[in-house]
Amino acid sequence: MFRVTQKDVNTRARRGVLETSHGEVETPLFMPVATQATVKAMRPEQVRDLGFEMVLCNAYHLWLRPGLEVIESAGGIHSFMGWDGPVLTDSGGFQVLSLGKDVKISDEGARFRSHLDGTSVFLSPELSMQVQGRLGADVAMTFDECLPYPIDHQTAEGSLALNRDWAKRCRDSHNAGGQALFGIIQGGTFADLRALSAKLTVELDFPGYGLGGLSVGEPRELTLELVERTLEHVPEEAPRYLMGVGDPAGIAQAVALGVDMFDSVLPTRIARNGSAMVGAGRLNLKNACYTGDDGPLDPDCECYTCRGFSRSYIRHLVMAREILGLHLLTVHNLHQISALISRIRSAIAEGRLKELLVELRDVGVGP
């Protein structure tokens, strides 16, 4: 399912190929988030044309709306959303934490109130596997308890046994042919618990592993330290997926530590808020200083937006709440991530990732 094709000589970075039911994808890779079976403000072919081969959908959201029957009747998630490439589904553990109301966690699963209409909902490891199997994703994730930040050591330690039990139940009940199931490593922000969680999860022998519960408010330096310490206990032959990280600095630094896969709502979310990614910083087009600025968002960017439209025009669209403004910013932000991934892949192949990290730091990307 996964093979490493090249390694960087000066870091732990590597290039690889992930095989799925809907084709092979190169790593390192970034998955734009299509929570509701759409990358917001983008058509599927536009996402593909920007260089992305795989997207992430959320099982929790699609289970509640439009419902599994609707998606199954359309032929599965790929046909439903008009995307012919691989799809990974997140199990819903994070959404239970972030969106669920009156959440009650037990050994059996999670009971909470739907963020849509307040009705009582119960989600178990077995049901999560059933949902993701019926959606037809290429890669499913185990159902896990995602901890908030900050959390105390005792609480985080108590969660490990639950997550291990849930992961085993997911593995044992997973029977979707052609679908890979990745385990998720938790442990809060404690290196010893991360190591233990990795050991317990790896013992269950999943074909890939997600690093969950990070980038939830902790300092960046701590995130990277925990990634490095955790990966010491994850097999090199398995793909490593750092869940929820999508800023340029975080991606580049985590690749150097040996991470292969990323996802984040960051590029599309800040676009909807009127901001463009430029280097390590952001341009907030709502600021009045861009009212008469005829320059592109980024003079060094070759995306459709920067080739054809000015900061002044995009600010006008944002302030007028025109949909085109959000689309143009989304195109730019996703292009920035895609171009970064391309540079990282080339640097690994040429054995110069460390030099690229220095270049990125010099232009404000990284510490």
Q: How many helices (H) and strands (E) does the chain have?
A: 15, 16
| Burial class for 207, CB neighbours closer than 10 Å (0-12, 13-18, 19+) | middle
Report CA-CA distances (Å) from 5 to 8, 70, 101, 102, 258.
10, 39, 45, 47, 13
The answer to whether the beta carbons of residues 140 and 179 sit under 8 Å apart is: yes
Q: Which of 8, 90, 138, 260 is catalytic?
A: 90
Collect all residues with Cβ–Cβ distance below 8 Å to 109 and sequence separation of at least 6: 122, 123, 124, 125, 127, 143, 166
Q: Which of 8, 144, 260, 263 is catalytic?
A: 263
Q: Which two tokens stand for residue 126?
A: 């077995």
Of 62, 77, 91, the C-alpha closest to 21 is: 77
Q: Is 263 a catalytic residue?
A: yes
Distance separating alpha carbons of residues 185 and 132, to the nearest angstrom? 19
Count of CB atoms situated within 10 Å of the CB of 21: 16
Q: Is 90 a catalytic residue?
A: yes
Q: Which amino acid is residue 219, in one-letter code?
A: P
Structure-token match 């963020």, residue found: 115
Name the 3-class secondary structure at 209.
Answer: strand
Q: Which two tokens stand for residue 304?
A: 């459709």
Which region, left, alpha or beta, applies to residue 41 given φ > 0 means left and ψ of -120 to 50 means alpha? left
Pairing of strands 101-105, 110-113: antiparallel
Count of CB atoms situated within 10 Å of the CB of 272: 17
Name the 3-class secondary structure at 352.
Answer: coil
Q: Which amino acid is residue 83, in one-letter code?
A: W
Of 38, 42, 72, the C-alpha closest to 55 is: 38
Q: In what order do the strands lie in the sheet with 101-105?
A: 101-105, 110-113, 120-123
What are the residue numbers of the active site? 90, 263
